Amino acid sequence: MSVNAFYKASLNEVEDSVIESTLTSILLHKERYNVGIPYKWEQGGWTVLDDKEACVSNMTHVTTPENLQQYPPLYFENLMLPYIYPHIDRWIEKYKPELDGVPYHTKSSWYMIYGKDKDTYTPRHNHSGQGSRTNGGSEIECCSGCFYLQSPGDDSRTFEYYTDKNEQVVIKPKNKDLLLFPSDMYHSAYQKSSGIESIAIAFNVLFYKDDNDGINGQK
């Protein structure tokens, strides 16, 4: 899909109290379940790169049943339904109009905590193939996204995406910024040690393939 499908919006309408309650939930979740670097990242060699460490995350694994996940999931409905879903609707209307109105979900969601006392990163990757690996391959990829609950908004914290010509585009996300992009778009992220911990929510948007998968009371 064209790089023009990259979408950025500032969700200033999100109440500060919603941000604060979500941050509280994330930090309590991290402490209760001793959340660290996901084993998938450790196995894939994402732990350390050029003296940078991978971020802390409760990232879900689409091929693993929910009750066997390394860390319990959080779905962030207080942000998704009233604030983020309207922007996903706009993205679909513009970039996937043939699927406008088809039900979708963001069950594939997780938080990422970038440390304040060390350089932290997420290496270049994409989210391609999520639909074929989720729910027995019965879902269709829509897009992926990030929402920034807490971010410096300067050179110390960046999100990079890559065009079809492999050109890097650098974003400096700030609080309440939302990014949406095609799931097959390569991207990466980095935070310099700056004394400020940044926290973001990442997610995949997946369409249900048809009306006979149980979501409308049918079996």
Helix/strand/coil percentages in the chain, nearest 5: 25, 30, 40
Written as six digits, the tokens of 26 are: 């994330």
Reply yes or no on whether the pLDDT at 214 is more than 50: no
Q: 36-40, 58-62, 96-100, 211-215: which has the minimum mean pLDDT?
A: 211-215
Helix and strand tally (H, E) in the chain? 5, 13
Mean of pLDDT values over 177-193: 93
Neighbours of 114 (CB within 10 A): 30
* Residues contacting residue 80 through CB under 8 Å, at least 6 positions apart: 106, 109, 203
Are the C-beta atoms of 97 and 38 separated by less than 8 Å?
A: no
Give the whole-angstrom CA distance, residue 201 versus residue 84.
11
pLDDT digits (tens, 9 = 90+) for 61-115: 877 777 888 999 999 999 999 999 999 999 999 999 999 999 999 988 999 999 8
Is residue 123 helix, strand or coil?
strand
Give the whole-angstrom CA distance, residue 183 versus residue 130.
8
Percent above pLDDT 70 for the chain = 87
Bridge partner residues of 192 (DSSP): none
Rounded to two decimals, the pTM is 0.90
